[in-house]
Each structure stands twice: as C-alpha cells, then as structure tokens.
Chains A and B, each alone.
Chain A
Amino acid sequence: MTPSVTSHAPNETITVNGSGSIRRTVRVVNPLGLHMRAADRFSRAAEQFSSTVTIWNGDARANGKNLLDLIMLVVLPETEVLVEVDGPDAVMAIDSLCDILAAPGGEDYTI
C-alpha cells in the first residue's frame, strides 16, 4: 500500500499527518541511481537519526537504515522515490536525507 501524498511536485512536497511522520518525493539524479555507495551513504546518514526512515519506490519499500534493503529496492537514475521519516527528529532528518538523494553524486562521503 502506498501512503497518501497531497501533491507530487518533486523535492517540495511535505505532508505531515496525524502521527507526526513527514513524507517527501525526491527525484534521484545520480547518473548511476541509488547504487551501492550511494545507498551506503544514505543508510549511514539515516542511522544518525532516531526517527524511522522508509523509502518507497512505487509499491516497494525499504528500511532506509538497511543497506541491503536499499540496494534491493533497485532505484534507477531519474526515479522518483518517496521518503517517509517518522520520529522526534523527523524535520531535521527529512532535509538532510533528501539532500543526499537529490545530490548528483553520492560517492564522496566521509561518514
């Protein structure tokens, strides 16, 4: 099941529902998509937050803190994914996580 989203404008949509989760759609522009290194960077960043992080690719979803889960989500270049963050630091998390997905390269990271 797909969560409800109020608008589809990439990078801009923020929906805050009753439970306090934040969702945003992001277009992955990395020319290799969310490959192993980019996924590693993402999951390491997600680990820093206490909120739960879920990424939806169509009907499939992955735990944003689990590298293998993210790889098996098979996110190709120019795919729009939905990021859902739920927890006390959700507002901070959504920005920094979506920045990683929207960045042109995910290879240079030091985390």
Chain B
Amino acid sequence: MEIRHHGIAVSPGVAIGPAFVIDTEGVRITHQTVPPEQAAAEVTRLRRAFEIAATEARDNRQRITALHGPAIGNIFAAQGSVFEDPGFREQIEALVRSQNYSAEYAVSRVIREFVRRLEESALRSVAEQHRAEVRRRAKDFIDIERQIMLLLQGENTEPFGELTEPVIVLATDLLPSETADFSPRTVHAFATESGGATSHTAILAGALEIPAVVGLGRFLSDVSGGDIVIVDGEEGILIINPDESTLARYDEKRTVERSRADRYDSLRDKPSATSDGTPIRLLGNIELAGEAVHCLERGAEGVGLYRTEFLYLNKTSDPTEEEQYEAYKTVVTTLGPNRPVVIRTLDLGADKFSSVTGAVGVEKNPFLGLRSVRLCLRKLDLFKTQLRAILRVALLGDVRVMFPMISTVDELRQCKTLLNEVKEDLEDGGIPFKRELSVGTMVEVPSAALVADILAREVDFFSIGTNDLIQYTLAADRNNENVAHLYNPTDPAVLRLIKRVVEAADKEQIEVNVCGEMSGEPLYVPLLVGLGLRQLSVTPRKVPEIKRVIRQLRVDEARRLADQVLEMDTARQVGSFLRDQLRRILPEAAD
C-alpha cells in the first residue's frame, strides 16, 4: 500500500525508481524477487548466512567478554540467540517460498516489520527516555539486518561507485564519504530522515541537480531496498510503493518537466541580452567543483559565486592548500581561461565549523557572532592557506577573490592587507602566483550597503548577497515561521539598499552583481535590471529560465518599472505589482 511522508523540498524535480536504502552501511538489495525455481537456493543461502552469523556472535561473545566483561559481551549473546531462533528464520524463509522474495529482501521485510512495530510502540510512550529506549531496541534489529546482509552478499557487496542502474537513495542522513561517488546517472534522487534546507545533503542534491527531500522524519522502517519510490522535490513528498494512479500522475509530471528542460536547452547558445540589445551577464553559483560543468551546460558565462565551505565541512581536519588548489583548478580549467570564476573565501559560522578548528565556544547569537570573514580574520593560518591557493590558481584563468560578510571598511582593508602579505610570502618562496588578482566584496550587511560609496573605492567589484542582506535589514530569520513574513526581497528598505549599492558601484565604475536567491527568481529580474544591475549570478539550473525573462525585457521599460516600485510603501504592494508586470512580460513565467 502507498505510504506518503512529508519533508522539506531542497532540490526540485521528480524521480521515480527503486529504493536504495543505505542505513545498513552501504548494503544494497539488488533485486526483490527471484525466479520460482531459485527459491530453494535462496533458502539455502539464508540458512548458511544465519549459521555463520550465529557462530560469529558466539565467538564475539567470548572475545568481547574476555576484553570488556559480560555486560558488553552479552550483546553478542543476545544477537546470537536471534540468529539461532528457528521461528525468526522460518518467518523469513516463508516469504522466500511463498512470495519468491530474494533472501535479502525477505530479511529486510521481516526485520523492518519488527522495527516498525517497535517504533509504533515508541510513539505510544509518554516519557522521552522510554521512547529513546524503544528506539534503541529497534536499532538492535537494524544491526542484525546489517550483519545478515553482509553475509548474504559476501563477495558480491556492491560499492556505491559501481552502481550500474539508477536508484533513489534513502537514508537517515548522508555522510560525505557515502556521497563522494554519487553521479546523476545512477542516483536519480535522494530522501533523508534528518537534515534541513542548508544541510550537506541539500547542498549536494542541488549540486547534482537531482530531486531531493530532507527532514522527512522516520520513514526507513516503511521501506525495503528495491521498493518503488517517488521523490517529489517540488512538494517535498516521498511516496513509498505508489499505487497505479499515483505512478501515472507522476510519470506525466516527469514528462512535462523534461519537455520544459528541452525548451530551455534551445536557449543555451542565445545571448543573454534584453530585447533592445543590452547584455545582462548571467553567471552560475556553485558549491562543488563538479558543478562547474553545469554552468557551461546551461549557458552561464562564468561562475559568479564559488562557495568554498564544502571543502571544510564534515572533515576531521581543514583542507590543505593543495586540496584547495586542486578543487579550484578543476573549476577554472572547466570554465577555460576567459570566463570569470569568483571564489568566495570561507563563509562559515562558528556554529557549523569543522571539528578541528571549531575551538570557538557556543555563541548565544551566532548570526551576529564570529562567522564568515570575522572568523577568518581570527584564524589567520586558515585564511592565509586559502588565499595562497586562490592566488596560485589565478594563473590559470580569470579568477577573482571575494570576501563575505564585510561589515566595515576596516575589515575589508584588513583582508586586503592580509592578501598582500600572502603575496609577499609566495614571492619570497619563489612560488608562481597572479599578482593582479581582482578583489571584490560581498555586500550583505546593511552597514556595508550604507558605506558602499567608501567600499567601492577599495575593490574591483561588488556582489550583493540578498539572503543575508534581507535577513539583517529586517532582523528576521526566514526559517522562523513566526517572523518569516517579515523576510521579503521586495521590502522598500531592501530595495533602497540595493539601489544605493548599484549607484556607488556605477560612480566608481566597478562591476556589481547580485548572487542571492533573489536573482534566481523570474519575478525580481525586471526590477533588478531596472535598478541598474547588468550581472546576475544564479544557481546553474535557473540560468535558462532567467535568460528567457531577460530576453523579453526592454531596459527603458525596466527602468520605469523600478522607478514606480521605489515610490511604493510596502513589500506587499511591490510584490503584487511585480507579479502583474511579469505576467505581462512573460505570461508563462508568472505561473
């Protein structure tokens, strides 16, 4: 029967395919059923696996009891009893005989049923410590499943990198080591129990451009490897064992999506310019080196924002200069010598810093705390290492460096001084690097926007980070449902700051770009162009859609539109006006 779970949609699209459950340490169920004549052989395989598991458990009990005492050793005694339990094995064998299930699938079905029942009774418990205890017991079964699976698969254990047919990966959470070999060819989507919009998993899904839903809560006990699942990355839904009408509906949805993608494909080689011929440079935002190719595929003219945090996250130590150099080099060589690549220096908060360097205490207010460039200016070794790698790789192409979270002129000057020190170090060491590296700053703190005229004299370019700019201007966290309504790109306060920054850049004749999510929304594109922006940096997937809007625009019209908007009093007024305008300019984009 069809089961639905709701989570957070983090990467759009729809995927349908067999489930690949990886909470059992990479063990994979390749097929659900076997031909009837093979059932007897499956039973033999099962019995053999159970026998070995029981023997191993007995050996472990003795060994571990000798080492750590009976309280620990008896974990294996209990597991051994489960492996030896004839009723348990018979229940599994019955599924192989009656349903022609493969040994692996039958094991998974029976154990998942135990796990599901335990979790149900956990939900009935009032006390949190009781719920936790029952979940621990459910985990015991997962461990038993894992052991049997490994024995059943023996030499045939198929590592991730060798997946040959497409699957949908389901997991509690995904570790970087588990996802290293993912490719969109074989992993068509993922769904995880934990995680939020900015989790590792979400970032990765966006990078691979595959649909993903995270934060689904507990669902792994409802699913076995090989079950057909649907991941709806628009609505944030995971559907396990969909019934036929659901399948048909999603099949159609997928077809529509593909035809839209084909239509956008035809735009790839057309120039990004308004209908009256003003070029609007479209760049891509990326996080992983492997995404650079998406920028080219979508017709982006370069990388407007290369986030480097991924190199630091979930590591036991910070990345070396060489590791960084190699990652940056991949991006730069993919883009070629003439397309710009803007590398943003580390933009991490103290709250999510890698373990080794994270010796900063817990902050009461991390978003107003030691994060991003503030942290880098405290950890000079770390910062210098990154700057060295950037200066060196800049020899290979049009590389630019950008500092995030600058809130004062002094801070920016400190960064520049440090960059000069690193240049001297490299020179002293006889290491080749690019002396004339273009330097820019993010404008994402209201204080920076207010002194943009001063900052403009210090740098070669600006990039407006609208996500933080909006959050800091309105003092509202968009992930907090109680105040999310205040977070609004069309708020007059935000628009005035953007206008001010563009004017300051124009006055000093430096480039200005918008790299926040605002620039990837068709709705805001006419306004941004009208405010004077001639560069937008968006997630690669959005490039064709935004280009389509740009090609329908006329600059004089956009200017008039912006003038009208700047006269308005409220975000709501601006929002509905922009929706009307977009409907007029490009009816299909307004849906």
Contact = CB atoms under 8 A, between A and B. Distances in A.
Interface of A: 32-33, 35-37, 39-41, 43-44, 66-68, 71-72, 74, 76-77, 105, 107-110
A71 B137 CA distance: 8
A35 B136 contact: yes
> Which interface residue of B78, B81, B130, B136 has the most chain A CB atoms within 10 A?
B78
Interface string B64-82: 0000011100110111011
Given A66-B85, A67-B85, A68-B85, A74 B118 contact: yes
B329 to A, nearest CB: 52
A37 B78 contact: yes
A39 B114 CA distance: 15
B125 A67 contact: no
A62 B1 CA distance: 29
A3 B308 CA distance: 67
A45 to B, nearest CB: 12
Nearest to B79: A36
Contacts of A71: 114, 118, 137
Nearest to B131: A76
A40 B77 contact: yes
Interface in B436-494: none
B78 A40 contact: yes
Contacts of A72: 114, 117-118
B132 to A, nearest CB: 10
A68 B78 contact: no
Contacts of A40: 74, 77-78, 81
A37 B121 contact: no
A9 to B, nearest CB: 25
A68 B82 contact: yes
B70 A109 contact: yes
B134 interface: yes
Contacts of A66: 85, 87
A34 B414 CA distance: 62
Interface of B: 69-71, 74-75, 77-79, 81-82, 85, 87-88, 114, 117-118, 121, 125, 130, 133-134, 136-137, 140
A67 B81 CA distance: 7
Contacts of B125: 76
Q: Is the interface of B mostly helix, strand, loop or mixed?
A: helix
Contacts of B114: 68, 71-72
B71 A67 contact: no
B116 to A, nearest CB: 11
Nearest to A36: B78
Nearest to A32: B133
Nearest to B76: A37
Nearest to B80: A40
Nearest to B84: A67
Contacts of B85: 66-68
Contacts of B75: 36-37
Nearest to B77: A40
B74 A37 contact: yes
Nearest to A106: B74
A67 B130 CA distance: 20
A105 B74 CA distance: 12
Given A107-B71, A109-B70, A76 B133 contact: yes
Contacts of A77: 130, 133
A41 B121 CA distance: 23
29 contacts: A35-B133, A35-B136, A35-B137, A36-B78, A36-B79, A36-B82, A37-B75, A37-B77, A37-B78, A39-B78, A40-B74, A40-B78, A40-B81, A41-B74, A43-B81, A66-B85, A66-B87, A67-B82, A68-B82, A68-B85, A68-B114, A71-B114, A71-B118, A72-B118, A74-B118, A74-B137, A108-B69, A108-B70, A108-B71
Given A74-B118, A108-B70, A109-B70, 10 more contacts: A33-B130, A37-B74, A40-B77, A40-B81, A66-B87, A67-B82, A68-B114, A76-B133, A108-B69, A108-B74
B87 A68 contact: yes
Contacts of A44: 81
A56 B424 CA distance: 79
8 pairs of A and B residues whose beta carbons are closest in the complex: A40-B78, A107-B71, A36-B78, A74-B121, A108-B70, A37-B78, A40-B81, A37-B74
A31 to B, nearest CB: 9
Given A72-B114, A72-B117, A33 B133 contact: yes
B214 to A, nearest CB: 30
